Amino acid sequence: MDVVTSQTIGVEVNGTTYEREVEARRLLIHLLRDDLDLTGSHIGCDTGNCGACSVILDRTLVKSCMVLAIQADGASIETVEGLAGEEQLTPLQQAFSDHHALQCGYCTPGMLMSATALLRENPKPSDEEIAKAIQGNICRCTGYWNIFEAIKAASE
Amino acid sequence: MQLLRPESVEAAAAALGNGSVALAGGTDLVPMLRDRLVSAETLVELKEVVPRGVEGTRIGAGTTLAELEVDPEIPAALREACALAASPQLRSMGTIGGNLLQATRCWYWRLDFPCFLHGGSRCHAREGAHREHAIFGNERCASAHPSDPAAALLALGARVRTSRRELGLEELYRLPTEDDRNVTALEPGELILELDVPRPEASVYLKAMDRARWAFPLVGVAAARFADGVRLALAGVAPIPWRLDSETDLDRATPLPGTAYKVELARPLIRRALHSVT
Amino acid sequence: MARLIRTEKEVEGRYTEQWVVVEEDAAIDQWPAGPRETVGRPVPRVDGYERARGQALFTADVALPGMLHAAVLRSPYARARVRRLDLSRAREADWVLGAIGPDDCDALTLEPGFHGEPVAAVAVDSPGRAREALELIDVDWEELEPLLDPEEAVRRNELHEEPRRYERGDADAAFADADVVVEAEYRTQTVLHNPLETHQSVCRWEGDTLEVYISTQFIWGVRDDIAESLDLPPDRIRVICNFMGGGFGAKNGAHAQTFIAIALASQTGRPVRCALSRREENLATGNRNSTIQRLRAGARSDGTLVALEGEFVNAVGWKGWSGPTYGPMEMLYACENVRTLTYGAKLNLPPNAAFRAPGFVEGTFGLECLLDELAGRLELDPLELRARNHADRDLADDRPYSSKNLLECYRRAEPHWARRDAVRARSEGPWRRGVGLASQIWYGGGGPPSYAWVRIGSDGRATVITAMQDIGTGTRTAMAQIAAEELGLPLDRVRVSLGDSSRGPYASISAGSSTTPSMGPAVRAAAADAARQVIEIAAQRYHLEERLLTMQGGKVVSSDGGSWPLEEVTGLLEDAQILGKGARGPNPTGMRVLTFGIQVADVAVDVETGEVRVERIAAIHDVGRVINPLGAQSQVEGGIIQGVGHTLSEERLVDPASGIVLTQSLDAYKLPTIADVPEIVVELLDIPDEHLTNLGSKGLGEPPIVPTAAAIVNAIRDATGADVRSLPVSRDEMLRALREARERERAAAPA
C-alpha cells in the first residue's frame, strides 16, 4: 500500500510531462496555476460551484478545485492552454471570439473545456445537450446566449 | 495529511478508522477538507477497491452519477434523480456511494456552528434562517438531506452491501440522537460496496429547487410502483431521506415557520409522482 | 490652446462640479445616424483571441518574483470589540513573513461592525499556508449585540445621514382629490455582485514607486484612494489592470485588500498578493442592500397620475451610502405631486456598494408593480397607463431632456405586449402564463473629464492610448471602432492600449454606464486630431489643399482623385509618430441626460408548486447611438439574466440573531445558470442624442437590469392574479401570494 504525505507525482498536461513534489492536501487547480504556471484555468469559487477551473482529466470533465493533485498522479490533463496549437484558435475558440461569447472572460476557459468535452463525445449536439453541457459553468456577465450560439456554431 | 491507495477492500477497511477518511469522487469531501469541516490524518482512496459499473440489478458503489443517468438499465427514478443532481462535472466525478453519504447543506453546519449535528446542544436553524430545512424528524436537528439519488433508491427499496453486511437503504440512515450525532449507521471502517436495486414496474423522481438546475432539492419526490404497491420517498425534507406512505402523511409534518411552504410544495409533487407511476 | 471650463459631472445619479480641460479646436459634428464603416456594425471582440486562449492575464494571474500571499483575519461577529490583539506568535514564526494589525493599516479595526470586517492580516510565501498563519494571531473578542433590523434602526435614528425628504406640489391635496388610490409595501432582498474574479490586489514597491495590480473598475480612483490615505504623491503610484474579471459596481475603489497588501509589502519589502476567497467576497465587498418601500399612488379615473408617495428604508449596512431608491418615483412619470422620504439605516451588516443601477433597480420594482396594481384598479391597459403619464420634461430637476425616445420604446413594445392573449391562451394544467411590462429610467450620460491619445506610426497603424480599464464590457473593441471610423482605417489596424495609469492619460470610471459616453468622445477627438495632422502632412508633401483631403480605407484620399496609403504618408517620419490628443467635452448645459426603455416579460407559473419560469423577455432601450450592436446585445442579455437572478433565486441570508452571513458560497447563494435563461429579444433604438458629445452615445451597462424584476412580477400577476410584493420570488413567496390571491377571490365570490 502506498503512503503519501508529500509525493512526487507525474502528470501529463497538454502533452507535456511534469514531475512535481506536492503536498497531499494540494488541489489540482493550484498545481496547474501556481506550480505549472498554467493560469488559464481560473478559481472562481473553490467550492465546486462555478466551473471556471474545469479541466479534462483522463477524458473526463472535472472541476479541478475538487481534485487533490496527488489523485491526478499518472493522469493526462487538458487545460485551455492545450486546446489550440501555437497560433490558431480551435473552431470552438474562434466561435467564442466571433460570437462575443464572453465579456470579462474569466469563466471562458472553463466554458471552453466543458464545450470541448461535449463536442468530443457528441459532435452534433442538440440545443438541449448544449445547454446541459454548460449547466455547471457560471457566467455572471453574458447572459449565456452568446456562449450557446458559439458552441452551436462550432458544432456545425 | 497522507493518502493511502489500498488495493483490496480488506486493506481499505483496515486503513479506515483512527482519523482516516475514505475518498471516492471527492466532490463533497475535498471542499470539506479545505474548509476543515473534516480533518483527516489519512485519506484512503477507494477508486481501485470499490466496484464500479452496473450489472443486472446491482450497481457498484463507485459508479458515477453521470454513468447512471444515461444507463437504460437503471430505473427511471434513479436515472432522473442523478440527472437532476448537481452539475455535469460533479456528476462525472461523484460516485453513487459517496452521494448517499454526503453531508447536509445546512448553512449552520457548513459554517461550523457548534450545532446539534456537530455535537453541540442546540439546532441553530430552528431559531434561525431555515427556509431550506426539514419538515420531518427535525426536533433536534432541522438539517435537510440533500441527496436526490438517496430518495430515489429509498423509494426503489434498494439494498446496500457493505464490507461487513447487507442492509436495506432505510437502515443505512438514522436520525441523529443525543448519544450519536451521525445520520448513517455505517460503522468505522465500513464501506459501501454495492447497491441492489429492485426493478419497479414504473418509477419517477420529481424535484423542486430554487433555480432550474444545479441546486439541492427543496423537496424531491421519488415514487416507485411494485406489484405490491407504490413506495414514496422524499429528499430535502428531513435530516435523512424520508419515506412516506401517502400524501396524507404530510399532515404529520412538523414544519418550522420558514419551512411550512415545503408541506404545500410536497403535496402536488407527491400527487404528480403517484399519477405518473400508476 | 487648452481651455479650462467648469462643468457638472454625474455618476450613478450623484452630481459634482468639476474643472476640465478641453481642446480649443472646433467641436466635431456627430456622424449621421445609422451604421458607419465600423461604428454601428457588429464586430467581434478585438481581445477575443487572448481571452479564448486563456492567455488574458487577470490580476488573479499576476505572479511577481518573491511574491507573498496575504490572509485576512476577519471578525466572526457582526459587532464586536477586540480587547486584545496579539501578533507576537505570528511575528515570531519564521515562516510568517508579515503580520499587521490596525496600528499598521487603516483598513483594519479593533471594533468591527459587521461579520467579515478585517481585523488583522499576515503574509507568507506559500499560498496554501496563509490561512494557517492566521491561527497564530491571538484575539480576545468581546461580542456585542448587533443591530440588524432596519425598521428598528430608523426608530433608534441609527442612520448614515439625515433622512432625505423630497416634495414637489402638494401630495396630500392631490391624494384627497384622486379618484383612485392604491398602496402597497414592497421589499427587496440583499443581493451580491459575485463577479467571477474576486477582489484582489498585488502590491509592490519599486524604489519609491508603489505598483498596484488590481481588479478594478477605476484605476485612477484606486490611485487617488491610496494617495489620499497614505499621503503619497499620486504620481508615485502606478495602478495596473489589464484584464478584469467583472465588477458590477463593487470594484470602484482601492478597497481593504489593497491597503492590506500595501502595508504588508511595506513591512516585508516583498510584493504581496491579497486575494479574497469567494466566501470573503460574499462577506465584505459590498452588496445591493435590501429595501422596504411603502408606496402610494393616486390617479384620476382616466389614468392621470396625480400623486405619488414613497417611504423608503435602505438597509445600508455598517458603511456605504443610501442609494436613490426614490429615483424612479421622482423621475419616471409626469406627476406634479410627489413626496418621498428615505432612510439609510446603519446596521451591523456588511456595507453595501453600488450594484448595477443602485437604488433604481429596487425603486423600479416597487413603483412599476404599484403602477400595475393601479392599472388593475382603473381597468386600464398597463402600457396605456404608462404612455398617458409620459414626462416630456424632467420634473425633478425642471429641465428638458437632452433626448428621450421612451414613447418610441413603448411603440416598439406594442407587438410584444399584444402577444399576451396568445401567451395566456397557452396556459395548461397547473401552468398559467402571462405577460408583464415595466419602464426603465436611469442615468448613463457619462461626462468629463476623460482623455485619450491616438498614435499613428510609420506602419500606418494606430494605437488608442488611454489609462482606462476594460471591465469585460468590450470597451477595447468599442474604442477601437471609434478610432478606426474616424481614421478611415480597417479595425485590424487599430490597437487599444489601456489599463495602466502610468501609460496614458486620465480616463473615466467604468461605472454608472459611463464608459462609452465618457471615453468614446475623447477617443474620437484624439483620432480626429491625429487625422488632421496626417492631412496637414500629406497636403504639404503632395502640394494639395487640406480641405480636399480625407482619410478613407487606410489611405489619404483627395477629392480630385489622388490617394496615398497612410503608411506612405506616416512613413515620411520613419520611426517618429503622429500623436493626436482628445478630451471629453462637457455635457449639454441645462439638460438632463438619461436613458430610457421598457421590458416585456412572458412567464409561466405552476400554481401548485409555485415554480416560475421566465420564458421570454423583450428589451427595448433608448441609449443613443450604439457603437457595437454585438457587444450591446450581450450587455443587455447579461443585465437581464442578472435581473432574473435578482427576481427569482438570489438572496443573501444572515442569521437573524447574530448577523452572521449564511450564504457565502455559491451553492447557498444561487446565481442563474444557463437553464434559467429566457429567450431574450433585444431592440436598441440606436438614435444618437444630438445634444450629447460628438458621438450621441449613452451607456448601456445598467439600463437592462432596471425593469426586469418588475416586468417579471407584473407578468406573474397577469398569469395568476397573485401580488408578489417581495423579492426574490422564491417558492415560499410565490405560494404565499397564490394563497392570498385564492383567498381574495373566495372572499369576493358571491355566496
Listed residues A53, A82, A111: the one ending a domain: A82
Looking at the fold, whether B78 and B198 belong to one and the same domain comes out as yes
Looking at the fold, whether A107 and A71 belong to one and the same domain comes out as no
**Nearest beta carbon to residue B4 from set A3, A68, A71:** A3
Listed residues B13, B29, B49: the one ending a domain: B49
User: In angstroms, what separates the C-alpha of A132 from chain B's closest C-alpha?
Assistant: 8
pLDDT digits (tens, 9 = 90+) for C598-657: 999 999 999 999 999 999 999 999 999 999 999 999 999 999 999 999 999 999 999 999
pTM: 0.97
Looking at the fold, whether A26 and A56 belong to one and the same domain comes out as yes
Average pLDDT over residues C101-127: 97
Q: What percent of chain C has pLDDT over 70?
A: 99
Looking at the fold, whether A30 and A48 belong to one and the same domain comes out as yes
Domain range enclosing A57: 6-82
pLDDT of residue A4: 55
Chain B residues 177-216 within an 8 A CB cutoff of chain C: 208, 210-216
pLDDT of residue C127: 85
The full set of domains in chain C, from first to last, is: 3-50+446-496+504-583 (3.30.365.10), 62-145+196-246+251-284 (3.30.365.10), 399-444+590-748 (3.30.365.10)
Looking at the fold, whether A76 and A97 belong to one and the same domain comes out as no
pLDDT score of A38 more than 70: yes
**Nearest beta carbon to residue B89 from set A4, A23, A54:** A54
Looking at the fold, whether B188 and B236 belong to one and the same domain comes out as yes
Q: How far is CA A122 from the centre of its chain?
A: 17
pLDDT of residue C76: 98
pLDDT score of A81 more than 90: yes
What does C74-107 look like in DSSP terms, one character per residue? E-SSSSEEEEEEE-HHHHH-TTEEEEE-TTT-TT
Looking at the fold, whether A16 and A71 belong to one and the same domain comes out as yes
* Tally of domains within chain A: 2
pLDDT of residue C16: 80
* A1/B255: higher pLDDT: B255
Cβ distance of B90 and A48 shorter than 8 Å: yes
Grid coordinates in use for A61? 470533465
Cβ distance of C246 and A140 shorter than 8 Å: yes
Looking at the fold, whether A113 and A77 belong to one and the same domain comes out as no
User: In angstroms, what separates the C-alpha of B11 from chain C's closest C-alpha?
Assistant: 31
Amino acid in position A64: S
Looking at the fold, whether B160 and B83 belong to one and the same domain comes out as yes
Average pLDDT of chain B, as a whole number? 96
Looking at the fold, whether B38 and B127 belong to one and the same domain comes out as no
pLDDT digits (tens, 9 = 90+) for B116-156: 999 999 999 999 999 999 999 999 999 999 999 999 999 99
The CATH number for B85's domain is 3.30.465.10
Looking at the fold, whether B160 and B122 belong to one and the same domain comes out as yes
* Tally of domains within chain B: 2
The CATH number for B14's domain is 3.30.43.10
Domain range enclosing B240: 51-277
pLDDT of residue B207: 98
Tell whether A66 is covered by a domain. yes
Tell whether A1 is covered by a domain. no
pLDDT of residue C84: 98
Looking at the fold, whether B79 and B168 belong to one and the same domain comes out as yes
pLDDT digits (tens, 9 = 90+) for C525-546: 999 999 999 999 999 999 999 9
Which residues from chain B sit within 8 angstroms of residue C654, using beta carbons?
129
pLDDT of residue A86: 74
The β-bridge relationship of strands C14-22 and C3-11 is antiparallel
pLDDT digits (tens, 9 = 90+) for C37-75: 999 999 998 888 888 898 899 999 999 999 999 999 999
User: In angstroms, what separates the C-alpha of C181 from chain B's closest C-alpha?
Assistant: 32
What ipTM does the predicted assembly reach? 0.97
Chain B residues 45-84 within an 8 A CB cutoff of chain C: none
3-state secondary structure chain B: CEEEECCCHHHHHHHCECCEEEECCCCCHHHHHHCCCCCCCEEEECCCCCCCCEECCEEECCCEHHHHHCCCCCCHHHHHHHHCCCCHHHHHHCEHHHHHCCCCCCHHHHCCCCEHHHCCCECHHHHCCCCCCCCCCCCCCCCCCCCHHHHHHHHCCCEEEECCCEEEHHHHECCCCCCCCCCECCCCCCCEEEEECCCCCEEEEEEECCCCCCCCCCEEEEEEEECCEEEEEEECCCCCCEEECCHHHHHHCCCCHHHHHHHHHHHHHHHHHHHHHC
pLDDT of residue B2: 87
pLDDT score of C13 more than 80: no
Which residues from chain A sit within 8 angstroms of residue C638, using beta carbons?
103, 140-143
Segments of A33-89 assigned E as strands:
54-57, 60-63, 76-78
The CATH number for A75's domain is 3.10.20.30
Cβ distance of C667 and B105 shorter than 8 Å: yes
Looking at the fold, whether B68 and B125 belong to one and the same domain comes out as yes
pLDDT digits (tens, 9 = 90+) for C196-213: 999 999 999 999 999 999
Grid coordinates in use for B105? 447543506
8 Å CB contact between B166 and B159: yes
Looking at the fold, whether A40 and A99 belong to one and the same domain comes out as no
Looking at the fold, whether B12 and B95 belong to one and the same domain comes out as no
Looking at the fold, whether B158 and B209 belong to one and the same domain comes out as yes
pLDDT digits (tens, 9 = 90+) for B30-76: 999 999 999 988 999 999 999 999 999 999 999 999 999 999 999 99
Listed residues A52, A82, A112: the one ending a domain: A82
Which residues from chain B sit within 8 angstroms of residue C722, using beta carbons?
none
Average pLDDT over residues C707-729: 98
Instruction: For chains A and B, count residue pairs whose Cβ atoms are closer than 8 Å.
Output: 87
Looking at the fold, whether B81 and B136 belong to one and the same domain comes out as yes
8 Å CB contact between C669 and C650: yes
User: In angstroms, what separates the C-alpha of C719 from chain A's closest C-alpha?
Assistant: 25
Q: Given CB atoms, is A103 within the 8 Å cutoff of chain C?
A: yes
CA nearest C640 in A: which residue? A143
Q: Cis peptide before A123, with omega less than 30 degrees from 0?
A: no
Looking at the fold, whether B177 and B226 belong to one and the same domain comes out as yes
Average pLDDT over residues C561-583: 94
Q: B147 Cβ partners below 8 Å, 6+ apart?
A: B85, B99, B100, B102, B235, B241
Average pLDDT of chain C, as a whole number? 96
pLDDT score of A1 more than 70: no
Name all chains with 3 or more CB-CB pairs below 8 Å to chain A. Answer: B, C
Name all chains with 3 or more CB-CB pairs below 8 Å to chain C. Answer: A, B
Cβ distance of A67 and B30 shorter than 8 Å: yes
Cβ distance of B268 and C613 shorter than 8 Å: no
Cβ distance of C52 and A45 shorter than 8 Å: no
The CATH number for A96's domain is 1.10.150.120
Looking at the fold, whether B63 and B79 belong to one and the same domain comes out as yes
pLDDT of residue C751: 63
**Nearest beta carbon to residue B7 from set A1, A61, A132:** A1
Cβ distance of B5 and A4 shorter than 8 Å: yes
pLDDT of residue C2: 73
Looking at the fold, whether A53 and A106 belong to one and the same domain comes out as no
